[in-house]
Amino acid sequence: MSGNARCTFLPNAPDQHVVVRGDTLWGISGRFLQQPWCWPQVWDMNRDQIRNPHWIYPGQIVYFDRVTGRLRLGAAGAADNAGDTQNVKLSPRIRSDELDGEAIASISLSEIGQFLTQPLIIDADELAGTPRIVATRENRVVLGNDDTAYVRGDLQGHNDFQVFRAGKPLKDPSSGKIIGYEAAFLGTMLLQRASRADNEPHSFVVTRVKEEIGVGDRLLPVEPKPFINTAPHPPLEAVEARIVSVYGGVSQAGQNQIVTINRGRNDGIDIGTVLQLQRLGKTMTDTTSGRKEVIRLPDERYGNLFVFRVFNNISYGLVMQVRDTVQVGDIASSPE
């Protein structure tokens, strides 16, 4: 029913859906489509529109045009005749903070909120040139809320900082090589008094403690939390990634948990990329033929992964719609 044979509508897809607060692009597309990553195809979105989609707001109506196999957007009460509104396509809106606050996100931000700015994937030497804690007031070993810390380094005009410490190495399951480090987020600090001489450190106050903060820990500026409403979409080119880790240090993940994959910006992955989760088929012995032949079972596809944060060689993804647990080493590839 759509231009892409893989992008089919559900047999029981509704004629329309009224967008309500709390809806997501993923959830709405799942009401109409067999595969939510087909969202751009049924809206006729180009690549730029996928990355910066037109906003959809509560109160608007998504219409299913069964003749063309496309979705259309209309305003509630805009027309009494459905035929008049089915031809209203998504149109750009002027971006503003007020409108952004109303627009629906790709996926539930409650699941990924803390991961939008932390934890952080870094290269081996990425923290080397960042501001660092060199001393504490009263020589405190561990800093708590409202404690003072002294920092050296170029603040580049920033006042609000997050505190990190280089964490565990992340190894590529395919090559065994270290492809990055997951820096541990320790807390936040605020500049109180900037340095006035080369040998004088900056004075900071600790505003939030998540884990122990001390001398030697590194500072990075607080980045604005991005609003993720990128349309769910397959990668532009074929990708085959592997699950590197499950956040929290465990070996398996379920639905709505966070994992990392060994592909990133350098591999054509961007925010909103949807990958298909699958596990390599097991090798076993066929004992039924009398010859004990070794066979390999088919690979098992069992869910989807939505990429929401991308680094050069690694990305974070939210596990979506799985029928099995996700394990380190599993494959995340272009949807078929």
By the 8 A CB rule, do 171 and 148 touch?
A: no
Q: Is 305 exposed, middle or buried (0-12, 13-18, 19+ CB in 10 A)?
A: buried
CATH architecture of the domain 240-333 equals Beta Barrel (2.40)
What is the pLDDT at residue 100? 52
Whether the bond between 119 and the residue before it is cis, its omega within 30 degrees of 0, is yes
CA gap 203, 194 in Å, rounded: 6
Q: CA 119, CA 170: separation in Å to the nearest integer?
A: 13
Give the tokens for residue 237: 């080119």
Name the residue among 91, 87, 69 with its Cα closest to residue 79.
Answer: 87
User: 138 by DSSP, 3-state: which?
Assistant: helix
Residue 32 has φ and ψ, to the nearest 5°, of: -110, -30
Q: Output the pLDDT for position 80.
A: 40
- Domain parsing of the chain, residue ranges: 16-113, 120-221, 240-333
Q: Which stretches within the chain are classed as H helix? A: 25-32, 39-43, 47-51, 82-85, 97-102, 109-112
Q: What is the pLDDT along the chain (336 residues), one digit of tens a residue?
A: 333 447 899 999 999 999 999 899 999 999 999 998 999 989 888 888 887 777 788 999 999 999 888 998 886 554 444 444 434 444 444 344 444 567 888 998 887 887 887 778 887 677 788 999 999 998 999 999 999 999 999 999 999 999 999 888 888 888 888 888 888 889 999 999 999 998 999 999 999 999 999 999 999 998 877 778 889 999 988 999 999 988 877 777 878 889 999 999 999 999 999 999 998 778 888 888 777 888 888 878 889 999 999 998 899 999 997 788 888 899 999 987
Whole-angstrom Cα distance, residue 255 to residue 276? 14
In this prediction the pTM is 0.80
Residue 226 DSSP label = P
pLDDT of residue 325: 87
13: which DSSP letter?
A: -
Count Cβ neighbours within 10 Å for each residue of 72-101 and write b for 16 or more, e otherwise: bbbeeeeeeeeeebbebebeeeeeeeeeee
- Could you give the CA distance from residue 171 to residue 245 in angstroms, rounded to a whole number? 9
Of residues 204, 109, 225, the one with CA closest to residue 159:
204
Whole-number pLDDT of residue 96: 40
Distance from CA of residue 275 to its chain's centroid? 12
Distance, in Å, from the CA atom of 200 to the CA atom of 178, rounded to the nearest integer, reads 37
- Encoded tokens for 196: 């006035």
User: Residue 211 corresponds to which tokens in the numbers above?
Assistant: 């884990």
**Cβ contacts of residue 127 below 8 Å, gap of 6+?**
164, 166, 183, 218, 220
